Amino acid sequence: MAYLHNHPAGNPVLKPGVYDAVVGGITNDRYRDDTKIYVRILLHLPGPGKNILTNIYLDDAPVLQRSGQRLWHFCKTVGLEPVDVFESPEEFEGRQLRVELYTSQPHESGQDRRYSDVKLFLPSEPAGDHGDGASDVETVFA
C-alpha cells in the first residue's frame, strides 16, 4: 500500500472513536541528522474506506519511554514483537486491529489544519462481538 503523505497531518478528519483497521504497511527510517529513528504505520480503515498513517518517534527520554511503550503495545496488539519492525516489517501487513482515533487541533499540533491520528491501538474483536459495550469509548463501524 503506497503512502499518500508522510505525516499524520495529511490524514483525513474522521469522527473520534474506535475503528476497525488493517495494517497496510510499516517502515522505519532515520531523522534529525540520522541520529533518531521513527516508525511509520499505514492503516486502512475499512468502515469509512480511508487510509491513515501514524508515526512513532523513537527519540530521547522521556519521549522514548512513551514512544517505546506505544510501539510495544502496537506490536503486541497484532501479535508481533518490536524487533519485528526492523527485522521483518512485512509480517505486519494484513494484521487486523482496532484503533481509537482523536482529532488534532491546529493549536495543539503546530500544523495548519485539523487531522485524525491514532490515540490507542486495541485488539481486534472476534467476529460478531461488535458493540458489546465492553469499552467506554464510542465505537464507529460506518
Sequence spans of domains, the chain: 16-122
Banded pLDDT at 113 (limits 50, 70, 90): confident
What is the number of helices (H) and of strands (E) in the chain? 3, 5
What kind of architecture, by CATH, is found in domain 16-122? Beta Barrel (2.40)
Closest CA to 102 of 36, 14, 25: 14
Q: What is the pLDDT of residues 25-63, one digit of tens each?
A: 999 988 877 778 899 999 999 999 999 999 998 876 666
What is residue 123's predicted lDDT score, i.e. its pLDDT?
96
C-alpha grid cell for residue 106?
A: 491546529
Which residue's entry shows cell 503495545? Answer: 73
Is a pLDDT exceeding 50 seen at residue 23?
yes
C-alpha grid cell for residue 112?
A: 495548519
What is residue 142's predicted lDDT score, i.e. its pLDDT?
36
**CA separation (Å) from 39 to 105, 113, 124?**
23, 23, 21
DSSP string, 16-61: SEEEEEEEEEEEEEEETTTTEEEEEEEEEETTTTEEEEEEEEE-ST
